[in-house]
Amino acid sequence: MLFNSFQFLFFFILVYSLYRILDHKGQNGMLLAASYIFYGSWNWRFLGLIWLTTVLDYFCGRWIEASDAHPVRRKQILGFSVSTNLIVLGLFKYFNFFASNFQHLAAFVGWHVDPVTLHVILPVGISFYTFQSMSYVIDVYRREHRAASSLRDFALYVAFFPHMIAGPIQRATNLLVQISRERKLNLEQSYEGCWLVFWGLFKKVFVADNLARIVSEIFSQDFRTLSGASVLMGVYAFAFQIYGDFSGYSDMARGLAKLMGFELVVNFKHPYFVTNPREFWRNWHISLSNWLRDYLYIPLGGNRSGEFRTYLNLFLTMLLGGLWHGAAWTFVIWGAYQGITLMIHRLLEPALQKIRFENPVSKNLWFAARVIFMFHVTCLGWLFFRSSSLAQAGGMLESILFNWRPFDPPAVETAIRIFQITWLLLVVEVFQKVKDDLLIVFHWPVWVKAPLYATLFYCILLYGTSAQEFIYFQF
């Protein structure tokens, strides 16, 4: 059941209508049932896994809190919860990847190993709800949150349908608290929710899905026949496709939640207008970045154990973050690349901070140059992320570096198509960035807002594609 489908529209109208007439207890019960119906619409067998995660971590949280005077027992319960979650996640998401690579390694050293594979469907959103549920148990262990007293409320925290498939990853200190208390709906929150749903729908069905055609056209060709400019256009198109697709989902998730009185965390904040890798990860998939920081980077030692250990922790965190995205070497290399860029930036940061410009024009030019450079650093990573194999990524990178033509009409035509699709997105985001306000549209006069709304509606209605899955559903 996709957000960008009529099926979901009818589903949400029914859910919202019931929500408005029920009391707090009835709202939570209805939302839990609706969330299971929503998730079960993908494959009803997935419900068993999410229920296993829910029951496991609910009782582990209770047992940890009840064992407050027994540090060893608390640690054992935490270890049981985390290891069980990771085993389930690894079995469904990574077993075939590691089994296949072990077979190839054995063959390389002369051993014959019969391949063992599990023919299972990857449960939708398993990485998101597993990380969210794990964070709750860890927070209870750290005494940062009380254990949930209601299994129903905790189950809704894990399965809340607006965000459960592709985030944002929520913390118990934010979402579970809102579930436990009564929520009051107000008109301003409803207006904001409608705008976020509308804006997110535009990002997805107009920007992302139209760019997907360009990306597929380029990445489905033999990379040996592509010019460097054509490959570069394909990477540019994918950079805006994945942004429109993923941030569009996050906007819609936040908007749907706002309509019901919930406030979800912001997941994207102009990530292509940053000047360095650290800023990028503070503005791209913010909920995952914060999760990796709080539950992986800091427990590894963070920056508390010397420079070498800091660089190693950065690299390991991003390497595992890459593997979180998918069971393929392209994601591993992408994660390693992100770790290396963070390490290089940390190494160069003292020198970069010494560069100062008093002249406003020079200062703005320096900022623009860094933004453009960082965008291309990001795009290089997206090349590995999008490629179906390391061979394709390497071949396309070789084309970018060495296969340039004096004039490349197909690449020019593709560049024009990309601009036609993305210009309105960029204009709005520039205003949002300058004013540091994601809801800047509400401060514009009616004579500006009305044409904008009409243009967005026109683009969605006439040029939006049929319902297509979101990219991050596969993670």
Which residues are marked as active site? 325
The closest of 257, 81, 235 to 174, measured between CA atoms, is: 257
Q: CA angle, corner 340, sides to 235 and 88, nearest 5?
A: 85
Q: Could you give the CA distance from residue 170 to residue 173 in angstroms, rounded to a whole number? A: 8
* 206 SS3 class: helix
Contact 242, 234 (CB under 8 A): no
Q: What are phi and psi of 44, to 5 degrees?
A: -60, -25
Q: Which amino acid is at 218?
A: I
Please, what's the b/e burial string for 62-93 (b: 16 or more CB within 10 A of its CB; e: otherwise)?
A: bbbbebeeeeeebeebbeebbebbeebbeebb
Alpha-carbon span 130 to 49, nearest angstrom = 10
At 98, phi and psi to the nearest 5? -70, -35
Instruction: State both tokens at 30.
Output: 């209805």
Is residue 161 within 8 Å of residue 38, measured between CB atoms? yes
Q: For Cα atoms 459, 256, 425, give the angle at the middle one, nearest 5 degrees.
A: 30
